[in-house]
């Protein structure tokens, strides 16, 4: 007779083996749990008015540089500082120019994009349109390499792919925001006993920026502090006279010619500033003595915001950058100006 452990006829105790879940079931359950938790935490973070924002990096910049350089003549690239990065609404530009590659290569906190212009001039693949943020001081040779960290970085294809993939996720989920996401918030809570303030800066995967100044605490005090910092820099570093400055501009014009001789276009745009910052700029490099002289010595198309009557009334909340709503309006006006100058095609139709 079989022992109970071996099994036997009816009425004899049998030890049954419990069913095992498949690995597919386990992974499906784990994935569902992660998705549910992510949705719950993201919903809570949005309730605090925290926003999603990608993180910029040289690999992300290089991804978009390659996208621009390998494009056709229907490629529109923006280079410069945070003024052009925040002042151009790339989604609006794409709506107005549906057949174009629109690439944002401006870099926050690093003015002076002559080095990037040089890179495009050297790259025989590029024959599109470059719109360059043209604040007069950045034409001085001392500022040409300000963005070197980005345009000279050695970045492989996998690093570029990883950067854009990460940015695509981070631009959609507030919990991953480097300043106010869950990890940053918990760290701030542990160190200071409170959650971080809402950040009004949102960086998108295409590297454009949307600024919301309505969430900035004590904006007037912040403006005054920044203005004093800029004033001190002007005082400490003597600003060159127009003739001296435009010795350096002669090299910039060589770069312009190289791009335009192979069918491309270069456009210099003086982005908006206002109030105290504009007054400081007019004190040290007034439009009449610097910008107007530059326009007379370059073959590039030049557009100064002060000459654009269609944006009359637009001001910069922090005196230096447009908010996201005014960036849309400025972008429309700029595209119209580029069409009038023959740099971009006019829309089809009557």
pLDDT, tens only, 63-84: 999 999 998 889 999 999 999 9
Binned at pLDDT 50, 70 and 90, residue 98 comes out as very high
Domain assignment present for residue 350? The answer is: no
**Cα–Cα distance, 164 to 152 (Å, whole number):** 19
212 is a domain residue: yes
Instruction: Write the DSSP symbol of residue 241.
Output: P
Is it the case that residue 147 has pLDDT exceeding 60? yes
Residue 211 lies in a domain: yes
218 contacts: CB under 8 Å, gap ≥ 6: none
The answer as to whether 2 is a domain residue is: no
Confidence at 189, pLDDT banded by 50, 70, 90: confident
Look at residue 333 and tell me if it is in a domain: yes
Pick from 2-16, 22-36, 96-110, 142-156: least confident:
2-16
Residue 3 reports pLDDT greater than 60: no
Provide the pLDDT for residue 239. 80
Q: Is residue 101 part of a domain?
A: yes
pLDDT at 63: 96
Q: Is 303 helix (H, G, I), strand (E, B) or coil?
A: strand
Q: Mean pLDDT, the chain, as a whole number? A: 88
Rounded to 10 deg, the angle between the 114-122 and 242-261 helix axes is 30
- Order of strands across the sheet with 301-304? 101-104, 75-79, 129-133, 265-270, 301-304
pTM: 0.88
Instruction: In whole angstroms, give the CA distance from residue 53 to residue 45.
Output: 13
265/25 Cα distance (integer angstroms) = 57
| DSSP three-state, residue 101 | strand
What domain range includes position 243? 63-153+206-340
Q: How many residues does the chain have?
A: 350
**Contact between 281 and 273 (Cβ < 8 Å):** yes
On whether residue 102 sits in a domain, the answer given is yes
d(CA 284, CA 113): 20
How many domains is the chain built from? 1
Which residue would you say has higher pLDDT here, 141 or 45? 141
Domain membership of residue 31 (yes or no) is no
pLDDT 10s digits, 245-298? 877 788 899 999 999 999 999 999 999 999 999 999 999 999 999 999 889 889
CATH of the domain at 80: 3.40.50.1110
Any alpha helices (H) in 48-181, and if so which ranges?
Answer: 58-69, 82-87, 90-96, 114-122, 148-151, 157-170
**From CA 257, how far away is CA 247, in angstroms rounded?**
16
Distances (CA, A) of 19 to 5, 13, 26, 219: 19, 19, 13, 64
Collapsed DSSP state (helix, strand, coil) of residue 209: strand
């Amino acid at each position: 007779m079989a022992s109970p452990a071996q099994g036997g006829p009816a009425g004899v105790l049998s030890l049954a083996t419990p069913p095992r879940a498949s690995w597919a079931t386990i992974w499906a359950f784990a994935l569902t749990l992660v998705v549910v938790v992510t949705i719950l935490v993201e919903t809570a973070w949005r309730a605090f008015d925290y926003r999603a924002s990608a993180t910029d990096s040289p690999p992300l910049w290089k991804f978009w540089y390659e996208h621009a350089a390998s494009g056709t003549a229907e490629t529109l690239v923006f280079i410069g500082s945070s003024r052009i990065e925040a002042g151009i609404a790339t989604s609006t530009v794409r709506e107005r120019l549906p057949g174009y590659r629109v690439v944002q290569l401006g870099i926050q906190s690093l003015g002076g994009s002559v080095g990037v212009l040089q890179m495009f001039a050297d790259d025989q693949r590029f024959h599109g349109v470059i719109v360059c943020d043209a604040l007069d001081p950045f034409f001085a040779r001392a500022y040409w390499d300000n963005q070197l960290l980005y345009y000279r970085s050695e970045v492989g294809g996998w690093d570029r792919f990883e950067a854009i993939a990460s940015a695509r996720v981070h631009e959609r989920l507030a919990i991953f925001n480097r300043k106010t996401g869950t990890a940053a918030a918990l760290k701030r809570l542990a160190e200071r006993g409170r959650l971080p303030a809402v950040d009004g800066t949102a960086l998108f995967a295409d590297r454009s920026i949307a600024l919301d100044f309505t969430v900035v605490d004590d904006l007037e005090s912040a403006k005054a502090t920044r203005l004093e910092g800029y004033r001190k820099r002007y005082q400490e570093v003597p600003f060159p006279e127009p003739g001296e400055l435009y010795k350096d501009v002669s090299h910039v014009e060589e770069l312009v010619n190289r791009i335009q001789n192979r069918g491309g276009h270069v456009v210099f745009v003086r982005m908006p500033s206002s109030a105290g910052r504009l007054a400081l700029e007019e004190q040290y490099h007034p439009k009449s003595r610097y910008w107007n002289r530059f326009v007379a010595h370059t073959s590039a198309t030049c557009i100064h915001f002060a000459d654009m009557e269609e944006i009359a009334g637009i001001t910069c909340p922090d005196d230096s950058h447009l908010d996201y709503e005014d960036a849309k309006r400025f972008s429309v006006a700029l595209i119209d100006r580029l069409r009038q100058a023959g740099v971009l095609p006019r829309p089809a139709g009557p």
